[in-house]
Structure 1
Amino acid sequence: MKRFSLCLMVLTALLLGQAAQAQILLPGPTQVVPPPSPPPPPKLEVPKMPRIDAQPSYNYRPLPRNSFSDRFSKCLEDAAGAGLGPAHRGTYALRCAN
């Protein structure tokens, strides 16, 4: 009887022990995030070398003209600086601005 009870206890322990182990949930394998891809290599541009025998390029575009209001105001200031009276400033400014 002792043998039978001992075998029964061992068998019960084995069956219940496996059932108890099945309840333990181990964490799954960690998901390894791959490292980011390396940045693209910098684009190196060779600067354009000036040629010795090349003709120099000039910008022949004329400077933009100021507006009539700007020119008239400047002419009034010039007339006042020249010592003209108020009556003569208007005449001077009209001729100067055109």
Structure 2
Amino acid sequence: MIRSRTRRKNSEVESGRQAHDMSLMRRLSICFALLATLLVGQAAHAQYVSPGAARLAPPLPAPPPPPKIEVPQVPQFDAPPRYNYQPLPRSSFSDRVTKCLDDAAAAGLGLADRGTYARSCAN
């Protein structure tokens, strides 16, 4: 095949059709490159680690729930007082005997009379 140095006047390159297709391809490739850059940039942004944080540190736990606020009961001045009608718990037998002996000595009873008084008082 022999090539000539002269160009054809009816070629597609001369008419501008080929140049138009290249411009469209160039625009499409720029759009795809820009879209790919944005998608990769978003993924890289999601993995961003702040400069002060350790890279292998576990994530922070969730904050604790707020404390429950309980309103204290305010005493009512016009309300009748509440009395505790439960009898006091009875002290032990040895405590009662000791108290009865002390009462007998305070009353000036003799040793024999203190024992008799303590037996009748403690029961």
The normalised TM-score by structure 2 is 0.43
| Change beyond 3 A, Cα 1:79–1:39 | same
The normalised TM-score by structure 1 is 0.52
What is the match of residue 76 of structure 1? Answer: 101
Identical-residue share of aligned pairs (%)? 67
Equivalent residues, number: 69
Q: Which has the larger radius of gyration?
A: 2
Tell me which of 61, 74, 77 is aligned to 1:36: 61
Within 5 A, what are the aligned runs for 1:27-66? 30-50=55-75, 54-66=79-91
RMSD over aligned Cα atoms = 2.4
| Change beyond 3 A, Cα 1:42–1:72 | same
The higher relative CO (CA closer than 8 Å, separation ≥ 6) is in: 1
| Change beyond 3 A, Cα 1:48–1:85 | closer
What is the match of residue 27 of structure 2? Answer: none
Deviation at 1:61, TM superposition (A): 0.5
- Structure 2 stretches of 5 or more lacking a match? 1-54
45-54 or 56-65: bigger deviation: 45-54
SS class of match (2:115): helix
SS class of match (2:103): helix
- Structure 1 stretches of 5 or more lacking a match? 1-29
SS class of match (1:60): coil
Deviation at 1:67, TM superposition (A): 2.4
1:87 and 1:55 mapped to 2: Cα distance? Answer: 51
| Change beyond 3 A, Cα 1:54–1:72 | same
